[in-house]
Chain A
Amino acid sequence: MFKKAVFILVLFLSTASAFAAKDDNSIQIKGSDTMVNLAQSWAEKYMEENSGDFVAVTGGGSGTGLSSLISGSCDIAMSSRNIKDKEIALAKQKGINPFEIKVALDGLAVVISPANPVDKLTLEQLAGIFTGRISNWKEVGGKEARIVVLSREVNSGTHVYFKEHVLRSNNASGKEEFAPSALMLSSSQAIADEVAANPSAIGYYGMGYISNKQKTIAVARDEKSEYVSPSIENVLSGKYPISRPLYLYTNNQPQGLIKKFVDYTLSREGQEIVVKTDFVPVKK
């Protein structure tokens, strides 16, 4: 009995010390689902080059990442939107000082099924569709069919960005909301699957999720402007109207291991990975 207890104690202590030792060279990254693939690729390459360092990446949404940073349960938060004033205030209360680093750009693709004849829309039409003002495809030049609006859940930075920049057309005091009848899906992949299977659905997500099972819509700022499709060149040149920066947030200016990783993401190699995962680099 006694021997067993000692054995368990030793086992416990050794695992605890193993964890404590590992802590010194491990980084926890959490946040935006849009950025998970990107951060995962960075982490893999980074760990290949710096064996001994350990980087763990998990998703959950920008809000989840930022609230983990505030509560101290991750070292770097990935976010596809700016941190809110409310969150900064909360962080300050807990002694955390969020520091913002822009690491990439992302074009938000609006997607429909390839079976749908519509292929271009203006920002105003998009706002109408997603707020529920326009509810039938024939109003925007399609077939007679009810529009099924797909959106991400509210914990998604993509949701927040789309609401602020498309539904409210950058007007900070706007009151527009997603139509209550909009389907809230829990991941970008779920939207991709539903759009592929449903000819009357419309959804949006980061360019990284575009595949040939969905059709991207060319978007124009207004009727007189040129319709632009979401591609790396168009986002880089600023022609594509729905693009956004992607951020990493750290507590204070990054130092030590975290700085090493952040520097890696901004290095030429790191930015090449950005291109490979279908995002747009911030540095050439």
Chain B
Amino acid sequence: MRKLKEFIIEKLIFICGLASIFFVVLIFLFLTKEGLAVFKYVSPFDFLMGKSWYPISEPAQLGILPLICGSLMVTLGAAIISIPIGIACAVYIAEIAPSKIKEVLKAGIELLAAIPSVVLGFIGMVTLVPWVKTVFNLPTGLTALSGSIILAFMAMPTIVSIAEDALYSVPKSYKEGAFALGATHWQTIYRVLLPAASSGIVAAVMLGIGRVIGETMAVMMITGNAAVIPQSILVPVRTLTATIAAEMGEAVVGSEHYFALFAIGIVLFVISFIINVTADLFLHKRH
């Protein structure tokens, strides 16, 4: 009886384990089936390199280059802001902070991760957007920069917690060795600990970026959604995710617009897949 119970539970867990893979495969198949249909209307080159996104015109112009550039611009901005702050924060928590401050900081960062993105977007719209407009003296504050700043807040918790883990897992003997050789605390951190934890830190950065590029609601609310190839970070941009979210409701099922949105989904899937695989490679290099 006990053996049977054990057996059933084992199999159940096994099925649960398989389920996630099964769902990923199903999603991928559906995405490919619906997305690839767009290439009946437009060549892959024109789709990826086309500069005009007018999906409901006759004939529709389905070029997603401005959207790809928009996504990259916002992500790059968010990375530039969140990576230095995130890593510095992780170093402080892991190495310098006294245990009381450490607890407070960790709780604060977990709290930051728990804020829903629509709330961050809303706060950004009310506070950050007017601020960006006045500080940079722009015609409008709905810009890639506003999106980058808000997204940096979202990437930070991921970066901090994973980078902090990586720093912890550096063997204690490394640190002791450095001290024994007469290195100061700071020298130990940036000459010994950071290089030793580098693969974990790169993984942290990659996962943070993965979070940013897939984010939708906040960017849709504060980046202005204008489909132009951005010349600077101070202009409105339209991201891949915001395009899908804003237009999916309208697209007539089975139209070229509908297929194009799924094809954008494939592009996003490929981008985040590459990012995750890179992060994984670095994470496993450590062991």
Contacts and interface: CB of A to CB of B under 8 A. Distances in A.
A63 B252 contact: yes
B249 A183 contact: no
Interface string A133-167: 00000000000011110000111000010000000
A160 B55 CA distance: 12
B220 A155 contact: no
Given A154-B56, A160-B56, A180 B140 contact: no
* Prevailing SS type, chain A contact patch: mixed
Contacts, number: 85
A233 interface: no
A156 B5 CA distance: 57
Interface in A198-242: 198, 200-201
Interface in B242-262: 246-247, 249-255
Given A70-B252, A154-B56, A155-B246, A148 B139 contact: yes
Interface of B: 52-57, 66, 130, 133, 139-140, 142, 220-221, 224-228, 235-236, 238, 246-247, 249-255
Given A146-B139, A148-B140, A155 B226 contact: no
Contacts of A186: 220-221, 225, 246
A177 B250 contact: no
A194 B140 CA distance: 9
Contacts of A147: 139
Contact of B236 (A63, A153, A183): A183
B142 A183 contact: yes
A181 B56 contact: no
B33 to A, nearest CB: 19
Contacts of A185: 225
A155 B55 CA distance: 10
27 contacts: A61-B249, A61-B250, A63-B249, A63-B251, A64-B249, A70-B253, A87-B252, A90-B252, A90-B253, A90-B254, A146-B139, A153-B225, A154-B55, A154-B56, A154-B250, A155-B250, A180-B53, A183-B140, A183-B236, A184-B225, A184-B226, A184-B246, A185-B225, A186-B221, A194-B140, A194-B142, A200-B140
